Amino acid sequence: MGRITQLLDAAHLRSQTNSWSFAGALLPHEAHELLRIAPGARLVDVRSHAELELNGVMPGALHIEWQSWPGWVSNRHFLTQLAQATDPESLLFFICRSGERSHSAATACAAAGRGGCYNVLEGVEGELNRLTGHRGEVNGWKQRGLPWSQS
């Protein structure tokens, strides 16, 4: 069994265990590895433009807002924009700040009939540290030392 298969099988199992409708759920380091080794895989950052400016970006990520700031207004063109920007056969790894909006985006994508939709658990900033009140200390893309840059 190849490495791509191992990673995707683990993601599928997480999704099945939790009864999620999308293909799978990846930890940030798994998504990063798959982006390097799986042809055509895309990281889809669903954070708002404001979040990108304030919290940075991941190199090579496709950005399509799930909700816009201010007001967290839903992007009613999300699926159309996604279809226009990606190959229908690509593996899509959705990421946001904490993994919640990306979960919704992956669910909507799967409900629209698209396969290969994965949520990146923990997101860019990770869970809130209850002791300090800060993100980026417990887990997430940044805390795991994966590539990102301040815009």
pLDDT number for residue 39:
94
For the segment 36-81, what is each residue's pLDDT rounded down to a tens digit?
999 999 999 999 999 999 999 999 999 999 999 999 999 999 999 9
What are the residues facing 93 on neighbouring strands?
43, 118
Phi, then psi, of 126 in degrees rounded to 5: 80, -175
Q: Which amino acid is at 33?
A: E
pTM of the model as a whole: 0.96
For the segment 88-135, what is each residue's pLDDT rounded down to a tens digit?
999 999 999 999 999 999 999 999 999 999 999 999 999 999 999 999
pLDDT number for residue 133:
92
For the segment 27-39, what is each residue's pLDDT rounded down to a tens digit?
999 999 999 999 9
Domains of the chain: 1-55+91-151 (3.40.250.10)
CA torsion, ordered 117, 31, 61, 151, to nearest 10 deg: 140
